[in-house]
A = this chain, B = another copy of it.
């Protein structure tokens, strides 16, 4: 139940193509409190409820609990959620023995592209692809919970 990951901005999407494995994601939050977020997500034709605890100081590790739920019920729960629903396409990109998840946001967060890599321990070393930009691990502005209340297109 403990998730260790690092998060980066992405410089361009030239490395993505129609063959990249991808999902359509929509998600909202019943709670965006940093100590206990509750997320409803649809991913293609499936749906999930996910609860995350507070991050450790580095922002790399936090309690995560997830359960699959009925997709029609998820639509009703999404209507209860706070503020804005986040829409994005997630690409699964293997790179030199690790896997990156690339989130290309649309709707009110259009223009934002974020890569996450899940690690087996906090100090694990991995090779950085050239499209990987600035690290934003632990920066709450890039939490999806934050984006659901403060969409990227309203930042400026």
Q: Which residues of A contact B (CB under 8 A)?
A: 1, 30-31, 33, 35-36, 38, 49, 51, 53, 63, 65, 67, 69, 73, 76-77, 80-82
| Residue contact A36 to B80, C-beta cutoff 8 Å | yes
Please determine whether B77 and A65 come into contact, CB atoms closer than 8 angstroms. Answer: yes
Residues of B within 8 A of A36 (CB): 30-31, 80-82
Distance in angstroms between the alpha carbons of A150 and B81 in the assembled complex: 25
26 residue pairs bridging A and B, Cβ less than 8 Å apart: A1-B73, A1-B76, A30-B30, A30-B31, A30-B36, A30-B38, A30-B51, A31-B31, A31-B33, A31-B36, A31-B38, A35-B80, A36-B80, A36-B82, A38-B38, A49-B49, A51-B77, A51-B80, A53-B80, A63-B76, A63-B80, A65-B73, A65-B76, A65-B77, A67-B67, A67-B69
Q: Which residues of B contact A1 (CB under 8 A)?
A: 73, 76
B-chain residues with CB within 8 Å of residue A76 when the two chains form the complex? 1, 63, 65
